[in-house]
A and B are shown apart, each in its own frame.
Chain A
Amino acid sequence: MKLMLFAPELVLLLGSLVLFFVSTGKVGGRKARTIALSLALINVLACLNGLPLEGSLFYNAYQIDFFSQFIKLIMAMGFAVVLLFSTELKGIEDRVRPEYYLFLTLSTLGLTMLVSSVELLTMFIALELSSYSLYILVPMRDDRTGLRMQMESAIKYILFGVVATGVMLFGMSYLFGLTGTTYLAELLPILHQMMGNPAALIAIAMVLGGFFFKLAVFPFHSWVPDVYQGASNETTAFIASVPKVAAVAMLIRLTAMATPEGQALVILLIVLSVCSMFYGNLVALQQTDMKRMLGFSGIAHAGYVLLGLVTMQEVGYAASLYYIIGYLVMNLAAFLVICKVSEHGENLAVDDLGGLYQRSPLLALTLAVSMFSMAGIPPFVGFMGKFMLLTGAYKAGHLPLVIMAAINTAISIYYYLSVVRVTYSASPEERPVVVVGGVAKAVSVALVMIIIAMGLFPDSLLQLATEAVRAIL
């Protein structure tokens, strides 16, 4: 029975082994994709099946609870969607595609393990497994178009990543030094008693840093624009969505370690939140490259998500979780459009979307829905998520922060709207009609429906998120 607890991870692990053997042979990308895709779908099933399970493995270093299973399911779906719409994998050369899928799967495996880790070293290893796979994915982009920037991006990504990891490890060593254990369950009671101790706060803050890096919270954001721009569209779609869910999940787990009296931590989170929102939104106003813009917008969204964490309450955590799931969906919708519109896997400027509504009405609609949702316009999930975050933060007494977030909504609408404007008002000129396959069409319709459904009927998913959060508090 213990194997069942571990089923999603096993599926991914076995799958990556298969992909590994495939990659040593002369198999083309098409077959590797079939393997990866079926793997992703099996993974979704395994996660669904594992949803109600509870238990712990590996000397209690690995916990299966509703929280972890719920996040795993969300990530499995995100992974599957990325694979579903990145059919052509335009930016990657055919001969490295098996490896590409291998590392993508490994990264997902790392993330899947991460959310179940309740021991510091396990956590670290899981995180690194996913990070290093991503580091390798970035420079895999081909340089047929003379684009060499992916190399620079990869170097930046790995350097910043290693620094963030170092900071996190340093924090972990403090935690261990203070408490004498690496198990979160044992850490918690001891830490609660020493919340007045600056060392404890610094330790928690540093550990959080590693996840701030993944989520791209200011000041751990500097890799974002370059990596988004340098990596191929499909890679960015993955980096921008799935790891962020895991990061939020872990941030919730860790923030829950601090008691509500951890005022210093709250202040830190507030400062980071405000900085992220303003920095992300203000810089995004200037961007002309679509992925870069989404990168900065991602930084701003990370700031919004922190709004839920500062509450230090179940409602806030659930809202954060809800928001990041919503963000996953709307981000995937946006990247779906980018991947499809980009003809040979090149980067898209915002202007390249000109007249999209004449070239492909469905993609234009998907993009518009995604943009309006990110801007927080009802009836889409972005609004409902933001509304719950604001309500939670206001309830916890952070009115200034709420007002800042509201002002940021007003700032951000400009650049989201400019994308919609180009899509609908500009003329297509010489740009070709975009051909979209049946699967991609179905996926984009499904994403739009989810965005609307989550915006109008948040109740059931919110309940799941609340239950999930309750499982770890």
Chain B
Amino acid sequence: MDFLIINAMGYPILSAMIFLPLVGALILLCIPGDTAAKYWTMLVTVVTALLSLPLYWNFDATTAKYQFGEHAPWISSLNINYTLGIDGISLLLVLMTTLIMPLCVLGSWRYIDKRVKEFMICLLLMETSMLGVFMALDFILFYLLWEAMLIPMYLLIAVWGGPRKVYASTKFFLYTLAGSVLLLVAIIGLYLDQGTFSIPALMGQDYSTTFQVVVFLAFFLAFAIKVPMFPFHTWLPAAHVEAPTAGSVILASILLKMGTYGFLRFCLPITPEATLIFVPYVLWLSVVGILYGGFTALAQQDMKKLIAYSSVGHMGFVTLGIFVLNQQGLEGALLQMINHGITTGALFFCVGMIYERTHSRELDAAAGLGKYMPVYVSFLAFFSLSSLAFPGTNSFVGEFLILVGAFAHNKIVAAFAIPGAILAAAYMFRMLQRVVWGRPDNPDHSGIADLNLREMATLAPLLIFVFWIGLSPEPFLRVMHVSVTHLIEQVGGLGDAVSVAKLMIP
């Protein structure tokens, strides 16, 4: 257990964060009334968020070990333990999750008008399982939460979704589940090899190359679908378009990060040799994803679809950063995960706010809103700029680091990714231009009210982070340095694989 620093806070902070939403959901079962349900959920998520703050203050950024650790036997006959802990890779993801959830409640305040209580229960269950996934250091605990999350997410789309909710929710469920069944087999394989389900204990072991390749592929399928990487992305636009606003935000901000988190936590340290073998393929897939996402976003009329495809592109940047396997690339990828969560989450909120007013997500129907909603379009403009990685915003830092890392790794791959940044500008400006000014034949928007206080409160925290990370990323990069360095050591240098990579890349 030398990888774990046992929690010394005096109370089990990680468990408290996991179980608070769960208990909140159970109590919510007995609370009558929709308004009470909303306030209660708000309270629970805010308390969870406040509870998560000490994680940052007390985080020791000088060690790559897992901190705030908790360890208790769970299923002793199979040596399954309840082990929790976070390091520099998961810390920011946990904090982002607790930040986004109260905003999701705020953002659904008016949007959800039927079955409010059930909706809020689903949100709380999602929070429990998402936090658990980022904190779990035992494979079975991880897998359990990873899969269990599908149920509330499925219900969020299937019950409160749009007109094609049945198609979208089924597709989402089938894709993600099909991806992860072989993950379970791989986990069992690792267990039988090492006799433990402890994730850190499985890292850096001496597996044969064949075994590593097989395990890597099983991992990769599960995580690539979740990210989603091209060509496994087709469930994403459908799910995003049909999901209610809060569902889209959770999906974009947190769920997608689980795929890339999986790469960082499992693929790289557990199967380093296989990772090196597959690096060139994954890099090219990422580049294809970036370009494909960009071009497709350019052609969308539906704003949610546009942002969904832009996600494919942005997540392509993240996987690119991960698999160049150097300090800048990995740190950039990690930061970009947070950035994407903040910016894309905010953009989905923005689209949701238009939808609440015009009941349409079509770009044409929203054209010219700027005249009546000046505050709204200012928010939208900042988030759009952030999405296209404008200097001074958060995504610029992340994307810049990723591209530095990519150039250091291979100039050709990096050069192919550059148009992605230009495409982002093209499709975001196209959307912004339409929404703010539109054409002379704009639909009549008179009578549409600008943002109210609640909506501003939903967007404002995200805007703060856009500029905070954009102008002073150091507090965020600081916590991940050591863990990323450690991760690179675990993967080892780019030994033999470089030759393979050279064969692939002219």
- Contact among B144, B159, B177 for A413, CB-based, below 8 A: B177
A211 beta carbon closer than 8 Å to chain B:
no
Measured in the bound complex, the distance between the Cα atoms of B344 and A17 in whole Å is: 71
Count chain A residues whose beta carbon lies closer than 8 angstroms to a beta carbon of B. 34
**Other-chain contact of B77, A387, A414, A463 (Cβ < 8 Å):** A463
Within 8 A of B (CB), among A362-395: 368, 372, 377-379, 383, 387-388, 390-391, 394-395
B174 touches A413 (CB 8 A): yes
Q: Which of B75, B173, B192 contacts A394 (CB 8 A)?
A: B192
Residues of B within 8 A of A395 (CB): 192
Taking a contact as CB atoms under 8 Å apart, the answer to whether A417 and B174 are in contact is yes
Of the residues A377, A406, A459, contact of B76 by C-beta under 8 Å: A459
Structural contact, A406 and B184, CB atoms closer than 8 A: yes
- Digit string of B140-167 for contact with A (CB within 8 Å is 1, else 0)? 1001110110110011001100000110
Contact A390 B166 (CB under 8 A): no
Contacting residues, chain A, for B185 (C-beta < 8 A): 390, 394, 402-403, 406
A421 within 8 A of B: yes
**Contact call B188/A391, Cβ cutoff below 8 A:** yes
The reply to whether the CB of B191 lies closer than 8 angstroms to some CB of chain A is: yes
Of the candidates B74, B148, B169, B184, which one forms a contact with A390 in the assembled complex, judged by CB atoms under 8 Å apart? B184
With a cutoff of 8 Å between Cβ atoms, the chain B residues found around residue A424 in the complex are: 155, 158-159
> Is the beta-carbon distance between A425 and B189 smaller than 8 angstroms?
no
Asked if B477 is an interface residue, CB under 8 A from chain A, the answer is no
User: Which residues on A sit within 8 Å (CB–CB) of B182?
Assistant: 403, 406
Is A377's CB under 8 angstroms from B158's CB? no
Q: Closest chain A residue to B166 by CB distance? A: A425
Q: Would A410 and B177 be within 8 Å (CB), given that A377-B147, A377-B150, A424-B155 are in contact?
A: yes
B78 at the A interface (CB under 8 A): yes
Please, how many angstroms separate the alpha-carbon atoms of A388 and B191 in the complex?
Answer: 12
Asked if B77 and A425 make an inter-chain contact with CB atoms under 8 angstroms apart, the answer reads no
With A414-B174, A421-B158, A424-B158 as contacts: A406 and B181 at CB distance below 8 Å = yes
Q: Give the nearest-CB partner of B76 in chain A.
A: A459
Q: What residues on B are CB-neighbors of A463 within 8 Å?
A: 77
B301 CB within 8 Å of chain A: no
Residue of B155, B166, B191 near A391 (CB, 8 A) is B191
From A377, A410, A466, give the contact of B151 (CB < 8 A): A377
Contacts of B188 in A (CB 8 A): 387, 390-391, 394, 402
Is B375 among interface residues, defined by CB-CB distance under 8 A? Answer: no
Minimum CB–CB distance from A453 to chain B (whole Å) comes to 13
Given A417-B174, A463-B77, verify A425-B158 contact (CB < 8 Å): yes
B472 adjacent to chain A (CB < 8 Å): no
Residues on B with C-beta less than 8 A from A466 are: 77
Residues of A within 8 A of B448 (CB): none
A145: min CB distance to chain B, Å: 30
Inside 8 A of A262's CB, which chain B residues have their CB? Answer: none
Minimum distance in angstroms from B196 CB to a CB of chain A: 13
B contact residues, range: 20 to 34
A402 vs B77: C-alpha distance when bound (angstroms): 20
B178 surroundings in chain A (CB, below 8 A): 410, 413
Q: Assess whether B35 is interfacial by the CB under 8 Å rule.
A: no
**Min distance, Cβ A383 to any Cβ of chain B, angstroms:** 7
CA distance A223 to B329 in the complex (A): 60
* Shortest distance from the beta carbon of A246 to any chain B beta carbon, whole Å: 25
CA distance A394 to B102 in the complex (A): 43
A462 at the interface (CB under 8 A from B): yes
* Per-residue interface assignment for chain A, residues 392 to 435, with 1 indicating a CB less than 8 Å from any chain B CB and 0 otherwise: 00110001001100110110011001101100110000000000
Residues of A contacting B154 in the complex (Cβ-Cβ under 8 angstroms): 417, 420
Chain B residues near A414: list those with CB within 8 A.
170, 174
Q: Which of B148, B170, B184, B189 contacts A387 (CB 8 A)?
A: B184
Bitwise interface map of A from 144 to 167 toward B, beta carbon under 8 Å scored 1, else 0: 000000000000000000000000
Tell me whether B155 and A383 are in contact (CB under 8 A).
Answer: no
Question: What chain A residues lie within 8 Å of B158 (beta carbons)?
Answer: 420-421, 424-425
Other-chain contact of B144, A379, A407, A410 (Cβ < 8 Å) = A379
Whether B177 pairs with A459 at a CB distance below 8 angstroms is no
Q: Is A458 positioned at the interface, with any CB of B under 8 Å from its CB?
A: yes
Say whether A417 contacts B148, CB under 8 Å: no
Q: A394 CA to B182 CA in the complex, in Å?
A: 13
Alpha-carbon distance between A377 and B148 when the two chains are bound, in angstroms: 6
- Bound together, the chains give a CA A365 to CA B174 distance in angstroms of 20
User: In the complex the two chains form, is A462's CB within 8 Å of B148's CB?
Assistant: no
Are the C-beta atoms of A379 and B78 separated by less than 8 Å?
no
Q: How far is the CA of A406 from the CA of B185 in the complex (A)?
A: 7
Chain B residues lying within 8 Å of A357, measured Cβ to Cβ, are 159
Q: How many Å from the CB of A150 to the closest CB on chain B?
A: 34
Query: Could you tell me the distance in whole angstroms from the C-beta of B163 to the nearest C-beta in chain A?
Result: 11
In the assembled complex, the Cα of A357 lies from the Cα of B165 at a distance in Å of 16
* Cα-based distance from A421 to B144 in the complex (angstroms): 22
A217 to chain B, nearest CB (A): 22
Which of B74, B151, B165, B189 has the most C-beta atoms of chain A within 10 angstroms of its own C-beta?
A: B151
Q: Which one of B144, B165, B169, B170 lies within 8 Å of A378 (CB-CB)?
A: B144
Q: How far is the CB of A364 from chain B (nearest CB, A)?
A: 10
Give B181-215 as 1s and 0s: 1 = Cβ < 8 Å from A's Cβ atoms: 11011001101100000000000000000000000
Contact of A409 among B78, B151, B181 (CB under 8 A): B181
Residue of B nearest to A456 (CB): B144
Partner of A458, one of B75, B148, B169, B191: B75
14 contacts between A and B (CB under 8 A): A379-B144, A387-B184, A387-B188, A394-B185, A395-B192, A403-B185, A410-B174, A410-B178, A414-B174, A421-B169, A424-B158, A425-B159, A425-B165, A457-B75
- In order of increasing CB-CB distance, the 3 nearest A-B pairs are A378-B144, A410-B178, A406-B181
Given contacts A387-B140, A413-B174, 11 further A-B contacts (CB under 8 A): A377-B151, A378-B145, A390-B185, A390-B188, A403-B182, A406-B181, A410-B174, A410-B181, A420-B158, A424-B158, A425-B158
Q: Which residues of B contact A (CB under 8 A)?
A: 74-78, 140, 143-145, 147-148, 150-151, 154-155, 158-159, 165-166, 169-170, 173-174, 177-178, 181-182, 184-185, 188-189, 191-192
